Amino acid sequence: MAYDRFGSDDVLSLRELPDPKVGPGEVRIRVRRAGVNPVDWKAMSGGLDALMDAVFPVVPGWDVAGVVEAVGIDVPEFSVGDEVVAYARKDVLHGGTFGELVTMNVRGVAPKPAALGWEEAGGLPLAGLTALQTLDRLAVTAADTVLIHGGAGGVGALAVQIAQARGARVIATASPANHEFLAELGATPVAYGEGLVQRVRTVAPDGVDVVADFVGGVREVTMAVLAGHGRHASIADASVLETGGSWFWVRPSAAGLVELGRLADAGDLRVPIADILPLDQLPDAFTRSRQGHVRGKLVIAISE
Ligand SMILES: NC(=O)c1ccc[n+]([C@@H]2O[C@H](COP(=O)([O-])OP(=O)(O)OC[C@H]3O[C@@H](n4cnc5c(N)ncnc54)[C@H](OP(=O)(O)O)[C@@H]3O)[C@@H](O)[C@H]2O)c1
């Protein structure tokens, strides 16, 4: 699936493109499953144009689970046939994962976790790295009570589990329909919206040590529930900088993917799958993602 100009879902079309070249330090991956992330349609609408050059036609998509199909010059890390996952963000907007083949520098590639099926593996990289790196930046430990805004989304559902694997106590926001889901992941669920500060105070009377915002628009709530020594970060609201928080952006990291695989293989991390769609339904997947209520990950199935 590719687009030749910025726009909404109607700029996407299914087409034949040349196989991507595989350069030094890169692998070419035959894509089995590719996770959908909000950044895919935000970038397609031109939302990252100030940050990244686009080289049209753009194949969107930055998440992949698949099989190494070719290796470039000097790639001792991987061989043809290896099952891998990658956060395949490039330096330019081009050559993404919603296609049969994608190349990626090994800095963003790791072995597929044995405990995860192809769907789960395809939904892991971007959301998993975002969750892991945000919690690392916030130095979350077993001593912390953590509030996660957006616990039922792709990033949030993974962050709830990673924070718990570190021994932290986790409170997470979602609509009531997702409270049982959050409780199954081990979090104390609270409903977002009016009265949220009071609901958090009810379950954490002394305030929380850490707030991780995966939604945006909740800065005032964050500051009202954070204990005096508290740390906070947002992946969706640059204005956290004004209140001493971190405005966090995920980076490709093979080491981070290995750590996520270790958590999955230890039974501490699963990737909740909302739905699996074929490649030609990518526009529908983007429409659903844009509505903002996907639980866990939407995944595109591309090859067997
Ligand atoms: N800076 C970065 O590096 C980075 C990385 C990844 C993602 N992001 C951004 O972070 C955001 C989240 O990404 P994602 O992949 O997790 O998105 P997602 O999977 O599409 O998130 C959907 C979830 O958001 C929940 N939600 C909607 N409104 C909410 C609210 N007001 N309070 C709490 N939860 C709410 C929904 O739960 P209910 O159905 O219960 O409402 C749903 O489960 C997006 O804006 C994305 O672009 C940034």
Q: How far is the CA of 234 from the centre of ligand 1 (A)?
A: 11
Best residue among 162, 215, 251, 275 to mutate for probing ligand 1, ranked by most atoms within 8 Å of CB:
215
Residue 144 amino acid letter: D
pLDDT digits (tens, 9 = 90+) for 115-130: 999 999 999 999 999 9
CA of 213 to the centre of ligand 1 (A): 9
Can you say whether the dihedral through the CA atoms of 37, 276, 64, 41 is positive or negative? negative
- Angle ∠(145,148,154) on CA atoms, nearest 5: 140
Return the closest-CA partner of residue 161 out of 187, 140, 130, 143: 187
Interval between CA 212 and ligand 1 midpoint (Å): 12
Mutate to test the pocket of ligand 1, among 214, 241, 297 (most ligand atoms within 8 A of CB): 214
Residue in 93, 123, 98, 103 with CA at minimum distance from that of residue 14: 98
CA distance 232 to 187: 18
Q: How confident is the model at residue 245 (pLDDT cuts 50, 70, 90)?
A: very high
Specify the ligand 1 atom closest to the Cα of 192.
Answer: 32
Stretch 219-239: mean pLDDT: 97
**Ligand 1 touching residue 274 (CB < 6 A):** no
Residue nearest to atom 34 of ligand 1 (CA): 150
Whether ligand 1 lies within 6 angstroms of the CB of 294 is answered as yes
Q: Tell me, yes or no, if the pTM score tops 0.95.
A: yes
Cβ contact 134:163 at 8 Å: no
- Residues 3-18 have a mean pLDDT of 97
What number is the average pLDDT over the span 74-78?
A: 97
**Among 84, 126, 123, residue whose Cα is nearest residue 103:** 84
138-153 pLDDT tens trace:
999 999 999 999 999 9
Q: Give phi and psi for 296, each to the nearest 5.
A: 75, -135
User: Which residue type occupies 28?
Assistant: R
- Residue of minimum CA distance from atom 23 in ligand 1: 153
